Chains A and B, each alone.
Chain A
Amino acid sequence: MALMGLVFTAAQAFAQQKTVTGKVTSDVGAPIAGAQIVIKGTRLGVLSDASGDYSIRAEVGQVLQFRFIGNAPEERTVGAADVINVQFRRVATSLDAVVVSALGQTNVKRALGTAQQSVTGAEIAGSNRQNFINALQGRVAGVEVTSTSGVPGASTSITIRGVSSISSSNQPLMIIDGLPLDNKTMITAQLAADAPNSPTAFNNRGLDFTNRAADINPEDIESLVVLKGPEASALYGIDAANGAIVITTKRGKPGTGGFEYSNFFRMDTPGGQPEIQRVYSAINASGSPILGSSTYLYYGVPYAPGTKFYDNVSGFFKTALTQKHSLSFSGAAPDNRINYRIAISADKQEGVVPNTNYNRINLTGATQSVVNSWLKADLTMTYAYATNDQAYKGAGGPLLGLMAWPQDDNAADWQTAAGTRRRYSTLSDASENDNPYFSVAKNVINSKTNRILSNIGLTIAPWAWGSLKTNIGVDNYTNSNLILRHPESTYGYSNGGILDINTDLTRNISTQTLLNINSRQIWQGLSISGVVGNAVSDYKSNTDAQQGLGFLDPNFVSVNNTNSRTARTTISQRRLVSVFGSATVDYNKYLYVTVTGRNDWTSTIPEERNSFFYPSINTSFIFSDAFPTVGQYMTGKLRAGYAQVGKDARPYAYMPALEYKLTSYGGYGYSFWGPNRALKPEFAESYEFGTELTFLDDRLGLDVTWYRKETTDQIVNDIRGSYGTGFILFNLNGAKTRNEGTEITVRGTPYLDDKLSWDVVANFDHSFGRVIALPNALPESYNSDTWLYGNVRSGVKPGTSTRSLTGTFYQRNNAGDVLISPTTGLPLRNSVFVDRGYDRQPDLTVGLSNTIRYKKLQVSFLLDIRKGGDILNATDHYLTARGLSMRTLDRNEPRVIKGVIRDGLENTATPTVNNIVVIPAINRDYYVSMSEELFIEKDINWVRLKEVTARYQLPGKWLNARDASFFITGTDLWLETNYTGLDPIVNGNTAALGGAGASGIDYGNFPMPKGLAFGLKVGF
């Protein structure tokens, strides 16, 4: 929008003027295209072209302002010289830095009364992540990114300011070029496998699907802004109750057309592997194997001396090769009346797990044209094709299979002579863990997506006082999945093979119309500006799913090859209509007050309550400008904001629906969910205070924010109650949660001269979410999908963290001592799920990035640091129960478990202290029935080298390129943690789950691989 106000000057000439030319470059000397060069105090300006060159006519004595998003503006006075070259410093501490604000407008930071933080497209693309969300971890204070696993195409969840919703999504709204971007991770409920009461249900366990925002090519992102609180996103409506991520895509830059090519090649190696014991075999003294329910149990005699061991675990993984090539053509007319950019990009990613991969092709076209003095049109079209092969995880997945496989047997030898699954135990085919090699060769999780995003914008500005902008866009994709549980596999055996296919046709249409009213002076020093708008969205997804059981030919993968087939259709539709407005009053450019109001109408709330209004107010006070004596030493801004934001329910939440029952002779009966005609929107109310300070001529910057958000009448989905209601689950209002936190960003330039500079950015975040109440004073709300190992699950009770874990932990007396069974000498478990204060919320996270530039070489690295937060190491419990964990090596040592005997005296002053000796080698239950509680690792800290990059800007006209650079990037190369498992960043389910989900539940998950990439970027 800022551009619209400019009057381009190409043809104008006046007597006293001269032509000033020059080159705008980045701090490493790369040309910057699209920088604004404006004559200060006027609306006259030009843009730099693809080579960074510009030409403007100005009078001597006038001041030229050079602005580019994410950079501090530079000013030069026109003097005798005809050439003015400007090199930007890539630090955006200044209050006059240009940023994208809500609704896609550009604004100077000083006017913003709320917390937001930007990341440049170059930083995102430079991280070489296929899924751009993964590039955000550590780069924005208060943003937490959790990758489900290290498998290509793994879903990633992102939360801003923690978890506030108990059962709904806590992920932010994604906005691309002004309109919503679908970031769904497919839920398995859409599969025919997960039809109600189906014995083949996945329940979002054991497999994963990409979150759809990953379809966006990181190379197409110009900039990304994180609007953190509901204050900032009050203007984006109810879907932005958890914040918003506003993406602006690249446009062609003025100047003669050119093309840019970049690539990288990456090698990934496994992120680590667990240590398992090689002392005790799975053979008992009489020579027969000790069998558990799915594997051997390693409680047998010691391996014979000289036993040949196979390295089944590390032999399984491979070094994976990934490459990416991007090519773009872009340019613009010299006056920028028409610009264009077309780009093509191809990703080919392999995983360290055999047969896993993620391949993507992106085609993008974007063009803007200024039709006449008052009309501008903008069109973007993106096509993405992604195909992803993943491996099973968790129970029965290849990682656990690898570890449980006898080490004196070569797992790589997975086929019989007849080409079928080679078995190693006498367990039935349906019980014995799949050989991991067999599993990845024969079981399939494949997902293919074809997506088209289009966005048409028209801007009309016939008046001096404002402009009207309308965008209409379609986000349309077809996501087809094929999930095979091979007839010979553990999963598929008893059904003769299980094949699930489904196709999700998602079609989201959104429009937004904004009427901008330009700033106008209403009194001396007092001016007002505003925007009113309207948005309409229609989100629809239609999934057709089929399941086939009973394969005729075990290796022909088609539903046509099955003898029992079921089908299922899932349609989901939601519509939203909104009107909103915002007005900003500014006093002498140092005091800004913005009020907003929005009314939404949603289709998912009963009509009588489906309209709801919510306001916000925020203010920004530049005290360093108000008090120039202070301003001599520093710049400083104070922010304060208050906002409300509403949120609706999921579709069809309040009316019960019948479902076709698969019991004898079909018929209809209600599904689990009962009616709730009284359903109403939930409301979040938040306060935010902050300050932005810079010292030493912008060499040191500090941004501090404190916030509190309270959600009342929160809708809790799928909460249980007494069956006396006639139903099992309800969607109810009535939960209350409170989130509080502090975010600090420190930016500094410890050293700076012409040749060498060192920039540091540190993002600190401390946040906490607490459940104050649950609907109808019910005791617990939990997500049953997270109940994936033993008796621990993501469950909350009043007073707990929003990210707590509940479980049937040990019984304890009033003094907190573990109660011991008088007969076995082993601890007693609770029969109900209790809270013992386990909390997956970290105490502090820090993202620390350093950028060191020496001449044309730039080295940067990003550290992701976390302190505190608990993680359930279910993998370790699994290995311990099977006698594989190293901790079981002392199994022959007699011990007495600390605790008191449950003999009726446990709560008296003189409880009977346990003195029953247990020898685990004899009483295997010592390990097998250990509470998962002992495997919830408390206060996990880590320091992870997320990224390290060295980039060299090639000098001069290398290969005749106007811009050429070479880089080496390492991703996740180094991890230091007190977590005993492989990788503390895990999700036991997928990013699709609501509430706290299963992040921090580690059960057979593949860790993030270590990647080393190198590549080249050239522009001609």
Chain B
Amino acid sequence: MKRLFAAVLVGSLALTASCKDFLDVNTNPNAPQAASANLYLPPMLHWWVSSPQWDGRFVGRYTQNYILVSSSPTTWDRMGYDPGSDNGAMQWRDVYWTFGQNLVNMMTQAEAEERWDVLGVGYLLKGWGWMALSGHHGEIIVKEAIDQSKFYFNYDTEEYAYTETLRLLDKAIENLKRTDGAVNAAYLGKGDKIYAGDRAKWLKAAYGLKAMTLNRFSNKATYKPADVIANVDLSFTSNADDALLPFPATVNDDRNFFGPTRGNMPSYRQTYFIVDLMDGTQFGGAVDPRMSRMLSASPDGVFRGLDPALGTYGALSTAQRPNNIWGYAATPAAGSPTRYIFDDKSRFPAMTYAQMQFVKAEAAYRMGDKATALAAYKNGIGAHIDFVNARNLDASSNATQIPAAEKSAFLADPNVVPATAAGLTLTHIMSQKYIAQWGWGFNETWMDMRRYHYTDIDPASGRQVFPGFVLPTTTMYGDNAGKPVQRVRPRYNSEYVWNLASLKTIGGDATDYHTKPLWITQP
């Protein structure tokens, strides 16, 4: 009996004695709590490209890339917003959460391990985040961001956000220039399917982002177009430098968000604004060879666009209604060929060489260097024609390739490319930039349109900088009081519900907050 009692006693004591080890089972066995720096990168790069796409469903309606066909004009087509919804604030989620602490971890580790290339990409993403968010929402949380000890966050000014963006991009450039330490293309390439770890291309991308950021200051007295040009020249030199994300398309999440299998775009249709820019209406009858490879014809073969103010197909017969972005009247069966950047597997751009050339053209034009402007402008169009061809080869496409002759003929058409530098206007540059960014460059397109206040007149051409663009004045969203949209309200489920006191200090609770002009677009 004593032996048994002793055994029980020893048994219970042994269990309690090793209590500390016994209780140490709270390390999550389902997922690691830390990862190697390069493993943080794939989701961030995915969302760097895809997040603007998500918001592009809404911003693309402000900029009249397309409309969402409904029985009456939808809120975003009317330059409004969806109350109580997170629509249009995906980049808010991704900058604070997808990047957030992951980016902090990646950069801290990269710095400790002297992986300057990884650190440089980190700085680039961080800088892009503040630039994209500030352009989208205006005032944002920068200084206090990514702090788990806080539950209320103060907003910073746009000016601060841009200062910080430029500082971070300079740090990106500084680090991406380095080849010492543990810089290793194979290591970076494990997480980087955009440039396969090529530090030199990331360096160019950093210069490109800096150029785009500096160019946003075009309404400010401090605008330095020469700096913009200098940075563009250090950035992409050909389409081979384009920042394009491939999609494995094996499961839902790794398919192109605009691809048919994800089915997010079946009811979106191109506007008459983009069709008019390409079918010769705005440019002396010059039919853009890209039109039939980017846009979709109606079943009757004619290219038409819809009116955001109407919001419906209007009087168009079934055969006259433009097909969706995949070239069909409805979502096509899985595996059907689609077009341009809209297939499940189409590589989707974050930044392109063509885009950079238009940034350069605009800066040079504003500086008065029209020869440089014209050269860059022509480069931009040519590069984008090549881009359209390349994208239509990414996946099975129902669009044909643009033959070289068609390309050169278009580039020689004086309605599109003026014969002399003196003939170049902002209307030319911004229209062609709009085309080159149609369907993907939502952040930059919207920034361009707001910098020119949607309907500014180019004194040189005597026409609107964006010719043919009409604000949906008649159907404008009720709370706008007739004013065009200038910003997207901060993410509802982050700020309106949980950080309202702070939001009120910047007037974010006003019903027309989304029409408050950005600091960056004002003198």
Q: Is B100 close to A, CB under 8 A? A: yes
The answer to whether B151 and A725 have CB atoms under 8 Å apart is yes
The answer to whether A574 and B25 have CB atoms under 8 Å apart is yes
The answer to whether B495 and A601 have CB atoms under 8 Å apart is no
Q: With A and B bound together, what is the CA distance between A808 and B496 in angstroms?
A: 14
Q: Is A536 close to B, CB under 8 A? A: yes
Q: Is A604 close to B, CB under 8 A? A: yes
**Residues of B with C-beta under 8 A to A730:** 148
Query: By CB atoms of chain B within 10 A, which of A566, A574, A607, A726 has the most?
Result: A726
The answer to whether A720 and B12 have CB atoms under 8 Å apart is no
Mark A798-812 against chain B: 1 for CB-CB distance below 8 A, else 0.
Answer: 000000000010000
Mark B407-425 against chain A: 1 for CB-CB distance below 8 A, else 0.
Answer: 0000000000000000000
Q: Is B247 close to A, CB under 8 A? A: yes
Q: With A and B bound together, what is the CA distance between A582 and B189 in angstroms?
A: 64
Q: With A and B bound together, what is the CA distance between A513 and B10 in angstroms?
A: 12
**Residues of A with C-beta under 8 A to B468:** none
The answer to whether A657 and B498 have CB atoms under 8 Å apart is no
Q: Is B84 close to A, CB under 8 A? A: yes
Mark A362-389 against chain B: 1 for CB-CB distance below 8 A, else 0.
Answer: 0000000000001100000000000000
The answer to whether A663 and B4 have CB atoms under 8 Å apart is no
Residue from A566, A604, A724, A778 within 8 A of B147 (CB atoms):
A724
Name the segment of B34-42, B62-70, B360-368 touching the other chain: B34-42
Closest beta carbon of chain A to B73's beta carbon, Å: 14
Name the segment of B44-52, B174-182, B208-216 touching the other chain: B44-52
Q: Is A213 close to B, CB under 8 A? A: no
The answer to whether B23 and A602 have CB atoms under 8 Å apart is yes
Q: Is A666 close to B, CB under 8 A? A: yes
The answer to whether A607 and B498 have CB atoms under 8 Å apart is no
Give the contact-size bracket for chain A. Answer: 35 or more
Q: With A and B bound together, what is the CA distance between A550 and B465 in angstroms?
A: 50
Tally of chain B residues near chain A (CB < 8 A) = 76
The answer to whether B32 and A668 have CB atoms under 8 Å apart is yes
**Residues of B with C-beta under 8 A to A659:** 31
The answer to whether A657 and B33 have CB atoms under 8 Å apart is yes
Q: With A and B bound together, what is the CA distance between A778 and B40 in angstroms?
A: 31
**Residues of B with C-beta under 8 A to A808:** 84
Q: Is A569 close to B, CB under 8 A? A: yes
Residue from B22, B43, B83 within 8 A of A577 (CB atoms):
B22
The answer to whether B40 and A724 have CB atoms under 8 Å apart is no
Name the segment of B249-257, B311-319, B372-380, B393-401 touching the other chain: B249-257
The answer to whether A726 and B146 have CB atoms under 8 Å apart is yes
The answer to whether B29 and A664 have CB atoms under 8 Å apart is no
Q: With A and B bound together, what is the CA distance between A722 and B490 in angstroms?
A: 11
The residue in chain B whose Cβ has the minimal distance to the Cβ of A676 is: B148
Residue from B93, B148, B493, B500 within 8 A of A725 (CB atoms):
B148
| A635-669 CB contacts (< 8 Å) to partner B | 651-652, 654-669
The answer to whether A603 and B25 have CB atoms under 8 Å apart is yes
Residue from A197, A726, A776, A778 within 8 A of B96 (CB atoms):
A726
The residue in chain A whose Cβ has the minimal distance to the Cβ of B96 is: A723
**Residues of B with C-beta under 8 A to A666:** 42
Q: Is B145 close to A, CB under 8 A? A: yes
**Residues of A with C-beta under 8 A to B19:** 577, 601
Residue from A199, A534, A655, A722 within 8 A of B152 (CB atoms):
A722
Q: Is B293 close to A, CB under 8 A? A: no
Q: Is B234 close to A, CB under 8 A? A: no
Given contacts A656-B33, A665-B254, contact A832 B497 (CB under 8 A): yes
Given contacts A513-B8, A724-B96, A724-B141, contact A652 B28 (CB under 8 A): yes
The answer to whether A655 and B28 have CB atoms under 8 Å apart is yes
The answer to whether B20 and A726 have CB atoms under 8 Å apart is no
Q: With A and B bound together, what is the CA distance between A198 and B251 in angstroms?
A: 10
The residue in chain B whose Cβ has the minimal distance to the Cβ of A469 is: B8
Q: With A and B bound together, what is the CA distance between A727 and B35 in angstroms?
A: 17
Q: Is A674 close to B, CB under 8 A? A: yes
Q: Is A831 close to B, CB under 8 A? A: yes
The residue in chain A whose Cβ has the minimal distance to the Cβ of B19 is: A577
The residue in chain B whose Cβ has the minimal distance to the Cβ of A780 is: B497
The answer to whether B23 and A601 have CB atoms under 8 Å apart is yes
Q: With A and B bound together, what is the CA distance between A290 and B251 in angstroms?
A: 35
The answer to whether A722 and B141 have CB atoms under 8 Å apart is yes
Q: Is B26 close to A, CB under 8 A? A: yes
Q: Is A575 close to B, CB under 8 A? A: yes
**Residues of A with C-beta under 8 A to B15:** 511, 534, 536, 577
Mark A546-586 against chain B: 1 for CB-CB distance below 8 A, else 0.
Answer: 00000000000000000010100111011101010000000
Closest beta carbon of chain B to A26's beta carbon, Å: 39
| A591-606 CB contacts (< 8 Å) to partner B | 601-604
Q: With A and B bound together, what is the CA distance between A604 and B25 in angstroms?
A: 8
**Residues of B with C-beta under 8 A to A780:** 497
The residue in chain B whose Cβ has the minimal distance to the Cβ of A677 is: B148
Given contacts A460-B4, A671-B31, A832-B496, contact A664 B246 (CB under 8 A): yes
The residue in chain B whose Cβ has the minimal distance to the Cβ of A659 is: B31
Q: With A and B bound together, what is the CA distance between A652 and B26 in angstroms?
A: 6
Residue from B16, B26, B35, B499 within 8 A of A604 (CB atoms):
B26
Q: Is B134 close to A, CB under 8 A? A: no
Q: Is A813 close to B, CB under 8 A? A: no
List 11 contacting pairs A-B, 8 Å CB cutoff, sorted by A. A458-B4, A462-B1, A513-B8, A534-B16, A607-B23, A668-B35, A669-B102, A720-B494, A722-B498, A723-B92, A780-B497
**Chain B residues in the interface with A (C-beta under 8 A):** 1, 4-5, 8, 12, 15-16, 19-20, 22-35, 39-47, 50, 83-84, 92-93, 96-98, 100-102, 104, 141, 144-148, 150-153, 191, 193, 245-248, 250-254, 263, 491, 493-500, 502
Known: A656-B101, A669-B98, A674-B148. 7 other contacts (CB 8 A): A458-B8, A575-B25, A577-B19, A722-B499, A723-B96, A724-B96, A725-B148
